[in-house]
Amino acid sequence: MKYILLIFFLLSLFLESSVTTIPFVFIVLLSFFVLERKEWVLFLALITGFFLDAITFRPLGLSGLFFSVFLFIVFIYERKFEIATVPFVLTASFIGSLFYLWIFYSKGIVVLESVFSAILGVLVFVLFSRLNKGALKKDVLGSKLYE
Amino acid sequence: MRKKENFFLAFFIVLILSLFIFGLSKTGILFPVTSITQKLFSPFQGLTYGVFNSFENFGTSGQVKKLEAENIDLASIISDEQRLKEENSALLDQFKTADVQTQSLLPAQIVGAPGFIPGFSVPETFIINKGTSDGVESGDTVVYKNNLVGRVSKVEGFLSQVSLVTNSSSSFTAKTSQGVLGVIKGQGGGQMILDNVLLSDNLSTKDLVLTNGDTNLSGGGFPPGLVVGKIVSVDKRPSDLFQRAMVTSFLDFSKLTTVFVIK
């Protein structure tokens, strides 16, 4: 799983910096966070955000700041909602992408891109949950989610 | 409860670290770190862009590609002829001096062109694999053959960001092949308009639009005679103060792989 995750992050980094404005890194981070809910995902957000900023000409630390704040808000909502579900990921991806695109690419077709990002977010989430299902069943939190 | 406390602590550490990095990057201390990261990642960025670019070109037949290249060459020839005419006229008059500057071209590979859907959306910016280490400076003109691509907007050690001529923040003076002056304004999404053209001037479709060569207060500007595009439609209303025209570039920005920085 670790290697798959690394490939996903590198791929999303290269895609976002080279060919598209769709927030791939954010989508992958969010999908992974709702499944894992571990502190180290925040540090992962900081590191990937740093690399993303460096290769997309943004002030360093800005993407990491956005990612960590958004993941923190998602964590707060954990008590009120079941976050590892398709409707939550769809909503969170849409809202997060909307803010992300508005902050970093305010001149584009922000809403349409956010809708596309939300759909993509769900696909990544479903893929991650299927890949991670075996590992999660051993975990108390995960077993509640998938049984 | 403990899990929550740990998470809060981790969040505050990440928050402070992010703000610290942000502050440092604003002072410029992290410039070498950024340069090394860019140097490390740019080959992979170029590879990703190249792979997507080859997918985009997959459906285009050889005949279409040949015609597109021919079209760009013909536009360059017309622009050269226009320039020669002006130079000749200037020499004959012995008043104007022909603006023939010795310029060197620095080839640069495009490693990034982020747009919504690759191949369909026209990007607003390019990322090229040349930076301050190659002598690129902010404000440098970027061309492909004799066609204007854009201007270098941000420079780092090994990469630069180029704002395309169609970028919504792009604005500069231009003239048509008939000598009509106006202002080119980028509209985003690959669109440009030639605005602020006097109603008394004659604009017609298929007229070439060239850079006028004006410089701004900071010394920046485009060299004269570069092809911006051709007029595809004219919007002239007697009630308006100015007339305007839609301009299309001869270049397909989503298919470019190499550009040249004028030094």
**B114 close to B125: Cβ distance less than 8 angstroms:** yes
pLDDT tens, position by position, A106-127: 766 789 999 999 999 999 999 9
Cα(A40)–Cα(B260) distance, integer angstroms = 43
Residue A147 within a domain: no
pLDDT bin (cut points 50, 70, 90) of residue B24 is very high
Low-confidence winner among B10-24, B64-78, B93-107, B166-180 (lowest mean pLDDT): B93-107
Q: Is residue A81 part of a domain?
A: yes
Q: Would an 8 Å CB–CB cutoff place B31 in contact with chain A?
A: no
Residue range B116-134: average pLDDT? 86
Distance CA A113, CA A21 (A): 8
- Chain A residues in contact with chain B using a Cβ-Cβ cutoff of 8 Å: 10, 13-22, 39-40, 42-43, 45-46, 49-51, 53-57, 59-62, 64-65, 68-69, 72, 75, 107-109, 112-113, 116
Question: pLDDT tens for residues B210-240?
Answer: 998 877 666 678 888 899 999 999 998 888 8
**Residue A142, pLDDT above cutoff 70:** no
Does the residue A19 lie in any domain?
yes
Closest CA–CA distance from residue B164 to any residue of chain A (Å): 14
Would you say how long chain A is, in residues?
147
CB contact under 8 A, A55 and B116: no
Contact B211, B224 (CB under 8 A): yes
Domain that includes residue A61, residue range: 2-142
Distances (CA, A) of B170 to A128, B17, B153, B183, B209: 42, 36, 11, 10, 15
Domain total of chain A? 1
Angle, CA of B248, B254 and B255, to the nearest 5°: 105
Residue B173: burial class (beta carbons within 10 Å; 0-12, 13-18, 19+): middle
pLDDT digits (tens, 9 = 90+) for A24-75: 999 999 999 998 888 889 999 999 999 999 999 999 999 999 999 999 999 9
- Which residues 127-146 in chain B show a CB within 8 A of chain A? 127
pLDDT value of position B93: 57
What pLDDT was estimated at residue A124?
Answer: 93
In a domain, A21, yes or no: yes
Contact A116 B116 (CB under 8 A): yes
Neighbours of B119 (CB within 10 A): 15
What is the spatial distance between Cα B245 and Cα B203, in angstroms, rounded to a whole number?
8
| Domain positions in chain B | 1-263
Task: Indicate if the pLDDT at residue B14 is higher than 60.
Answer: yes
Instruction: Please report the pLDDT score of residue B98 as a whole number.
Output: 40
When mean pLDDT is compared across B65-69, B183-187, B190-194, the lowest value belongs to B65-69
**Residue B50 CB coordination number (10 Å):** 15
- Touching check for B15 and chain A: CB below 8 Å? yes
Query: Which has more pLDDT, B6 or B184?
Result: B184
- pLDDT of the residue at A115: 94
Tokens for B56, please give them: 């985009």
Predicted ipTM of the assembly: 0.84
B52: pLDDT strictly greater than 60: yes
Residue in A145, A119, A122 with CA at minimum distance from that of residue A133? A145
